[in-house]
Amino acid sequence: MQITDVKLEMFKWPREVPITNGLYTYTHNLLNIVVIETDDPNITGIGLAGGIEASPEVGEAIIGHFKKMLVGMDPLDNERIWREMWRPKLVGRRGITTRMLGGVDIALWDIKGKVAGLPVYKLLGGYTDRVDTYVAGGYYEEGKGLKELAAEMASNVELGARAVKIKVGAVPINEDIERVRVCRETIGPDVRLMVDANNAYRHYEAIEFARKAEKYDLFWFEEPVEPDDYIGQREITRATSVPVAAGENEYTRYGFRDMIDHRAVDILQPDALVLGGITEFMKVAALAQAHDLDIAPHGSQYVHIHLVAAIPNGLILEYYRDTVDPMHGKIWQHELYIEDGYVHAPDRPGLGLEPKWDVLEEFRV
């Protein structure tokens, strides 16, 4: 089998109301699909790549660069292909090049599963066929006060979630503590509650927040400081009983090696769409397992359901619903749903991603 073409298909659609986290405001949702065609007309790989909204033309250029080396190669040789693409002097290490490399790698694993006739999670280890799940949300929005935040959390629990996450860091600490209090009282003592600062705090601010929030039994405190501040993360981890989670902005096994060496966090959050694809994610997972650390991936449930289900140290899956993505449930032929707090791994060959191209066409970049 040979690769015959590599393409990047980009789509973008607006939100009715912009959402804000600790540092950033989002007015649109974006979807970047890497398509790898082969000389078998029945086998096409579908992959997802991390956000490139700032420079979509750069993403296209990088995929064009990869295409020149990939056409004619065997798509099953994912390790060889990853190494050929990763040239850290010019391509790789961090940034958009690694995100695009990851999108290609994810599409290669989709091909591998389709050739084998197996879902990717089975190829990677098949540890379980269902994973614990939390609903991500709780963003700041215009007109969204404590009452509306409470209603959102109640709706997530009614959906079947046994864990929910909200944003912090965009308002004064005591105001965010009040938001945490309202959420805890709304969901009750048995539903896990996470908070995510998206790098908004200095380490001493994060320590203040964590200590004030401890009484509300937080499951984790996510990305309290800038991603490269390993020492600050370690100080926060040592200063509070709340577990610290981070890693969504980290790249490759080398970045996670450094996080682990610094004992910077309690829970690792690699994102296959960012760090370099599934091939690299599995190396991070193995490195974490060797240090008795759990993996709670950041981002797309459609890719990460396979990765959490494949490994023994997979902790929980992040899940985005229509309160975050207005096109949730409308762009894939097969949707993922929460059942009693769990998401079941797809049993279709590959990743099970079949885009509704006719629906997406309206939003093409």
- Could you give the residue numbers annotated as active site? 167, 196, 222, 248, 271, 298, 318
Q: 3-state class of 314 per DSSP?
A: strand
User: How far from 130 is each of 306, 337, 346, CA to CA, in Å?
Assistant: 9, 11, 9
**Cβ neighbours around 147 below 10 Å, total:** 9
Helix-helix angle 230-239:203-213, to 10 degrees: 30
Residue 303 backbone dihedrals phi, psi, to 5 degrees: -90, -45
Among candidates 161, 127, 132, 155, which has minimal Cα distance to 342? 132
Among candidates 191, 244, 193, which has minimal Cα distance to 219? 193
User: How far from 362 is each of 220, 296, 343, 356, 358, CA to CA, in Å?
Assistant: 39, 33, 29, 11, 8
Going 330 to 334 to 338 to 342, the CA torsion angle's sign is negative
Rounded to the nearest 5 degrees, what angle is found at the Cα of 59, between the Cα atoms of 78 and 318? Answer: 70
C-alpha 101: how far from its chain's center? 16
Give me the amino acid identity at 178: E
**Cβ neighbours around 53 below 10 Å, total:** 14
Spatial separation of the C-alpha atoms in residues 256 and 283, rounded to whole Å: 10
Residues 6+ apart with CB under 8 A from 60: 8, 10
Per 3-state DSSP, the chain is made up of helix, strand and coil in percentages (nearest 5) of 40, 25, 40
Neighbouring-strand partners of residue 32? 10
Spatial separation of the C-alpha atoms in residues 298 and 316, rounded to whole Å: 10
